[in-house]
Amino acid sequence: MNNAAEKLYRTGDLPDEELSALILSEDAEENAALVKYADEVRRKYYGSKVYLRGLIEISSFCKNNCLYCGIRRGCHDAQRYRLDRPAIIECAAKGYKLGFRTFVLQGGEDPVFTDDLMCGVISELHEKYPDCAVTLSLGERSRESYRRMKEAGADRYLLRHEAASPELYSKLHPPEMSLENRKKCLYWLRELGYQVGAGFMAGAPFQTADDIIADLRFMQELRPHMIGIGPFIPHHGTPFAEKKRGTLDLTLKLLGIIRLMFPDVLLPATTALGTISPQGRELGLKTGCNVVMPNLSPADVRKKYDLYDNKLSSGSEAAECLRSLEEEIENAGYHAVHERGDHASMQNKGD
């Protein structure tokens, strides 16, 4: 069974049992083949391009209580902050000068960020930077809220589904949150014309190979434009403080599988992947990733957006160090580009 990677490369899918065996396989030859095919496929759709997104973490207040997350409502020693509209615009201005053409506004579910406030921020960004894409990652909101923000000029929305298995979802979240609502939000976003990002943590507590298969099957149905995959990393102030973190090997394995199952998807080498290993991001790029999201948040709040312990926030992770990140990307054999970086299906041929 050491040709599963090749079969996945040729057919774009595998039966559950073979997928499960590939997820669990420690066969070095098999894993090397997966990396090789993943790179071949990313180059077919995106060449050597790596898209940069400027991440602006707009609020560390959150009304939710996800068991894994360091900014959950119940984390009493979390430091809370929120950026106001001028501060967000200022981050974008700084990012624009550095060459970013996508801004990602991410935050906890903070009721202060009403639809009116968000629509104001989005339309100002849209007017000032018409050549840039605006991505939102603000959790679960109403259909009307998503509709208004789209109308104001938002292009994309990242909402990891977190776990497509109802059993696992309920072990990672408090009873008042539901997988059903999470999925409903993702389908609304799709219908409304957003480029949509789903995803989950590799090695989340209690996660089995069957759970991962459920995630892959759900994403085959949703067909997201982007898939965010990073290792779970415990945060000391959460109920999962003592749980084991996700491994580099499992995360890379899933990135490779996802590149072969979703050949033209936008796949970030995440901050969490860079946090668990100094080579994490480089290895991610070599295993099918084609996006990186450096941090554009104001330096004095960065440590406060504390999703998990030791989250990277300086070095080549920081937008100011863009040149060193660009070098890192070149050294890995790729090329950082200053483009909006839409999904392959939305890019004009010959651009």
Chain residues in the site for ligand SAH (CB under 6 A): 68-69, 106, 108-109, 137, 139, 159-160, 162, 201, 230, 232-233, 235, 272, 307-308
- Residue 41 or 195 having the CB closest to ligand SAH: 195
Shortest spacing between CB 275 and ligand SAH, in angstroms: 9
- Residue 33 or 273 having the CB closest to ligand SAH: 273
- Residue 5 or 207 having the CB closest to ligand SAH: 207
Shortest spacing between CB 4 and ligand SAH, in angstroms: 27
Shortest spacing between CB 288 and ligand SAH, in angstroms: 19
**Cross-strand bridge partners of residue 106:** 57, 137
- Identify residue 5 by its one-letter amino acid code: A
Shortest spacing between CB 34 and ligand SAH, in angstroms: 23
CA distance 8 to 239: 37
- Residue 46 or 150 having the CB closest to ligand SAH: 150
Residue sitting closest to ligand SAH (CB): 139
Shortest spacing between CB 66 and ligand SAH, in angstroms: 7
Q: Starting from the edge strand earliest in sequence, which strands make up the sheet with 195-202, in order?
A: 54-59, 102-107, 133-137, 156-158, 195-202, 226-231
Shortest spacing between CB 172 and ligand SAH, in angstroms: 9
- Residue 40 or 167 having the CB closest to ligand SAH: 167
How would you label 138-162 residue by residue, b for 16+ Cβ within 10 Å and e otherwise? bbbbeeebbbbbbebbbbbbbbbbb
Residue with tokens 């403080």: 241
Q: Which of 98, 163, 45, 107 is nearest to 307 (CA)?
A: 107
CA distance 190 to 330: 34
SS3 173: coil
- Residue 1 or 117 having the CB closest to ligand SAH: 117
